Structure 1
Amino acid sequence: MIARVIFDTDIGSDVDDALALAVLLGSPEVDLLGCTTVYGDTLLRARLAKRFARLAGRSLTVVPGAADPLTARPVWWAGHEGALFPDLGDEQVDDGDAAAYLIDRVSRAPGQVDVVAVGPLTDLARAITAAPSFARDVRRLWIMGGRFDGPEPEHNFRSDPEAAAVVFGSGAAITVTGLEITTQVRLGAADVSAIGAAGPLGSALKAEIEQWWRVRNTEWNNPHDPIAVLTLLAPGLFTSSPDGRVTVGGDGSSAFSPGGGRTRIITSARTGEVAREIVRRIVAAAP
C-alpha cells in the first residue's frame, strides 16, 4: 500500500528533520506529496528541504509556513541553520501558504493523506482553525512531540503550546511519539559512516550530523523525527496505547488519558531495529 504523505518540518536546526526527510525519500511505499516548513526562518528551511530532495535526485514541492507561534514568544534559533550550503539562496521554493496547501491537498483526497509533523504544530493549528473539516479529512497525523513520562516539556510543544492544544483538541486521528521513546535510540559513528557513503545526499547528511554533534558537544544524536516517520512506515517496530486524549499545558507539558479520543501514544520501540531501519532507508534514498 502506498502512503500519501505531507511532511511538516522545522528542518535545519536539529539534524533529525533532515534525516526524517531522507527516510521518506528512501521509502518506496511513500508518495511524498510535498513538504511544509514551520517556525523561524521558514524560507531558509524550505530551501534546505529543496536542497536535500535535489541531492536525492528528486523534485519536491516545498511551501514555507508560519514563522511565529500562535502567541508571542521567542523563536529558538541555533544559528548554524543552512551554514553548510553557501549557495542555498539559489534554491527556488514553491509559492503559497503552508496552511492553505495542507487544506487543499487533504480536502482533495479525504481519508487518503497522512501528515507527518515533526516541528512546532503552528501550521497544523492554522489549517484546523481555517478549515475545521481538515481534522476529519486527514487520514492520520503522525507527530513527534511531547513527553509522557513526566512533566518536562518537549521542544516542539513548548515552542507553541497553543498550537499543540488546538491540534490535540481537533478530533483528528493522531499517533504521537514522545521524548521518552525517541531518546532511547542513538545514532553513532558507524551509522554516520554508512550514511556518509550514500552518494551526495549521504555526504551532505553526514556533514549536517557532524555539525549538530559539534553544536551539542557529543558524538551521537537521537533521531527523534525519523522515529516518528517509522511509526507510520514500520508500525511493527512499535507498540502503542489504546485511543485516548492528549492535553497540553501552557508551558508545553503533555499528558495522556486513555479513552474518549482518537489519539494514540507510542509506548515502546524495538530500539536496535529502529536505528538500523533508519539508516537503511536513508542509504536507499541515494540516487
Structure 2
Amino acid sequence: MPAAPTARAVVLDTDIGTDVDDAMALALLLGLPGVDLLGVATVYGDTALRARLARRYGALAGLALPVRAGEGKPLSGREVWWAGHEGSLHTGLDGEAYEDGPAVEWLVRTVAERPGEVDVLAIGPLTNIALALEADPGFAENVRTLWVMGGAFDDVERTEHNFRSDALAAHRVFSSGIRAVVTGLEVTRRVKVLEPHLRRLGAAGALGGALAADIDQWWKFWDEQWNVPHDPVAVLSMVRPELFTLSEPGTVLIETEGEDAGASVFRPGGGGRTRLVRDLDTAEVPEEIVRGIVAAGTGREPAAAEA
C-alpha cells in the first residue's frame, strides 16, 4: 500500500486585520488538505493586535494556532496605513494569547531546523522576511520557496500596497537570491468575491460567520459589494499549482525612492530564481477558495460547489 503523501509544511507571514483577504487566506490554509500550517507571524503596524486576531481565527476553526507578533515598523520608514477597523468585530480579542518571543527569530529557527522543507507564504509587507535574511545568511537557502502576494507587473498600476508599504524590505528580499513565486495585482484582480460566495461562507460555522462579517465590513469600508481575494489567490498558487501558469525564472527589481517607491519590474532570465504567476483558472480559483474556507468552518473535506 503506497504511503500517504507528506503534508506541505507552511509558515504564514501576514498583516491580517486590515484588508479582509488576509483572514480569508488564513482560513483557506486551515481548510485545505495537505497543508501543515506550522504557525503564523504578523507584520506591519499593531502586530500584537494582528496576532490576537490570527489566534482568534485559529480558535474559530478549533485549533490552538501558534502565532507570534513580528515587526511593526517598515524598514523604509514609511508611515503605517491603519484603517481603524482592525479586529473591531471580534469581542474579547484582548484575551487571546499568542506565543512569546520575536517572530523573526522563530521564522529563522523554524526553517533552519528543516532546511529545504518549509514554504514561507508572505502576504503582507516583507519586513519580517528581510529581517530574517539579515539575521541568518542561510535563511534564503533554508526556505523551500517564498510565496509572495505583492507587486504590480503590468502597465495599469505602478505600485501595490505590500511592496509600497516597505519598499526597502522588498528590495532586500528580492536581492537576496531567495527562491520565490510572486502573485501580483494584475493576476489577483481577475478574481472577485461576490454576494453568492459571501452567503456560502456565512453558513460555514463560527469561522465562516465571523469571516463573512469581516468581509461585509470591508465592503462597506469601500462602498462596494465585492472584494478581490488577493492573498487566497497566492495561497492557491502554492497548493493548487495546476490552476496557474508561471513565468520562466527571473529577477524582481524594486524601486526604493521617491513617489514610485515599491514599483516592481520583472526581468526574465539572468540566473534569477523568482517566477511570476502569469495566468490562472478564473472559474475554478474562486470556487476553490470558497470550498476550502467552508471546509475550515465546518470541519470537513472540501466538496464540490453547491448548486
d(CA) in 1 for partners of 2:210 and 2:263?
Answer: 34
Count of paired positions: 287
Paired residue for 1:206? 212
Paired residue for 2:62? 57
Q: 2:237 aligns with which of 203, 206, 231?
A: 231
d(CA) in 2 for partners of 1:61 and 1:154?
Answer: 29
Paired residue for 1:277? 288
d(CA) in 1 for partners of 2:225 and 2:121?
Answer: 27
d(CA) in 1 for partners of 2:80 and 2:91?
Answer: 23
Runs of 4+ in 1 over 6 A off after TM superposition: none
Q: 1:243 aligns with which of 234, 238, 249?
A: 249
Structure 1: gaps (5+ residues): none
Paired residue for 1:114? 119
Aligned-pair distance for 1:233? 0.4
SS of residue matched to 2:201: helix
* CA offsets 1:211-243 (integer angstroms, 9 cap, x no match): 000001000000000000000000011001000
d(CA) in 1 for partners of 2:17 and 2:292?
Answer: 20
d(CA) in 1 for partners of 2:280 and 2:43?
Answer: 27
* CA offsets 1:127-172 (integer angstroms, 9 cap, x no match): 0011010001100000000000025100000000000011111111
Paired residue for 2:23? 18
**Amino acid corresponding to residue 230 of structure 1 in structure 2:** L
**Amino acid corresponding to residue 161 of structure 1 in structure 2:** A
Alignment of 1:38-117 (within 5 A): 38-117=43-122
Tell me if 1:268 matches 2:279: yes
Aligned-pair distance for 1:67? 0.4
* CA offsets 1:168-225 (integer angstroms, 9 cap, x no match): 1111110000000001100100001001100000000000000000001000000000
SS of residue matched to 1:35: strand
d(CA) in 2 for partners of 1:132 and 1:248?
Answer: 21
- TM-score, normalised with respect to structure 1: 0.99
Alignment of 1:85-234 (within 5 A): 85-150=90-155, 152-234=158-240
Q: 2:262 aligns with which of 252, 258, 271?
A: 252
Larger radius of gyration: 2
SS of residue matched to 1:31: strand
d(CA) in 1 for partners of 2:22 and 2:79?
Answer: 21
* CA offsets 1:110-136 (integer angstroms, 9 cap, x no match): 000000000000000000011010001
Aligned-pair distance for 1:28? 2.0
Structure 2: gaps (5+ residues): 300-307
SS of residue matched to 1:285: helix
SS of residue matched to 1:256: strand
SS of residue matched to 1:261: coil
* CA offsets 1:43-73 (integer angstroms, 9 cap, x no match): 0000000000100011111000000001311
Aligned-pair distance for 1:98? 1.2
Aligned-pair distance for 1:86? 2.8
Aligned-pair distance for 1:93? 0.7
* CA offsets 1:11-53 (integer angstroms, 9 cap, x no match): 0000000000011000120000000000000000000000001
d(CA) in 1 for partners of 2:60 and 2:29?
Answer: 14
d(CA) in 1 for partners of 2:264 and 2:101?
Answer: 32
d(CA) in 1 for partners of 2:84 and 2:287?
Answer: 30
